[in-house]
A and B are shown apart, each in its own frame.
Chain A
């Protein structure tokens, strides 16, 4: 949910390429989510107030409550959120969570998240990387577009493929769908 919100900020800022990188470092009990875009960026003045929920929801359209809520979600687990931006170059959001904290919400269905993003923005290049220690899953719609040729990325069969590929790929690398402290769920 948060990832979708953050990427929507990127799209509203005119990004043509969005990178979503998720990393799980088991030994350090760390979950990192990085979203980087090549949108128009945010000025330093706005950047300094970007996580203030009152400022963001009232005066700018490009940045909603998403960041403030995302920050709160990281801090609930003892983590933090950083936002870096350069006007004309893009924005970079880093969210760090304790992987196995009780208040760390499940990551959600990344296949569905990417499906929604691609179907609504087939012209944008989405790069998704998910690492669990040394193992890695990659999806690059820019690369896919070249291979697909005339078939659009928003073609239903392509979207189905993306959803399934992500689900299978994440399972393969052992991505944490929920915190391990919730092991009674297994």
Chain B
């Protein structure tokens, strides 16, 4: 499923204007510990987290993640958005809590298997 097609299912808004959301998403990872994501995410994962600071962009770039989804209404810091746009990392935000987000992604065929 393409990133952009997930929008309706996850009630999210795109926080990074003009960043493409065409990437195909097959897998996802959910964690708030950055070292954990660095160690255990795989290329193309959609990352679900509540961390909002600048370092999430670095992790997304280093692991080549398809996007970052901030759950539970978490608001990204302004410099996070600025850097994400520069590095072309799509960041989304939803009011849904993480458990609900992951459940819906799973039902849509996004797997967490490594």
Contacts and interface: CB of A to CB of B under 8 A. Distances in A.
Contacts of B53: 105-106, 108, 178
A182 B33 contact: no
Contacts of A76: 33
Contacts of B58: 178, 181-185
A103 B62 CA distance: 15
Q: Is the interface of A mostly helix, strand, loop or mixed?
A: loop
B108 interface: no
A184 B62 contact: yes
* B interface, over-half SS: helix
Given A178-B54, A182-B55, A102 B61 contact: no
A184 B58 CA distance: 6
Nearest to A77: B35
Contacts, number: 38
A142 interface: no
Interface in B46-61: 53-55, 57-59, 61
A53 interface: no
B54 A102 contact: no
Contact of A185 (B33, B35, B38, B83): B83
B1 interface: no
Contact of A178 (B33, B55, B61, B87): B55
Interface of A: 76, 101-103, 105-106, 108, 177-179, 181-185
10 contacts: A76-B33, A102-B35, A102-B59, A106-B53, A182-B54, A182-B58, A183-B58, A184-B62, A184-B87, A185-B87
Given A178-B58, A182-B54, 15 more contacts: A102-B34, A102-B38, A102-B55, A102-B59, A103-B33, A103-B34, A106-B53, A108-B53, A178-B55, A181-B58, A182-B55, A184-B61, A184-B62, A185-B54, A185-B61
> Which are the 4 A-B pairs with shortest beta-carbon distances?
A182-B58, A102-B35, A184-B61, A102-B34
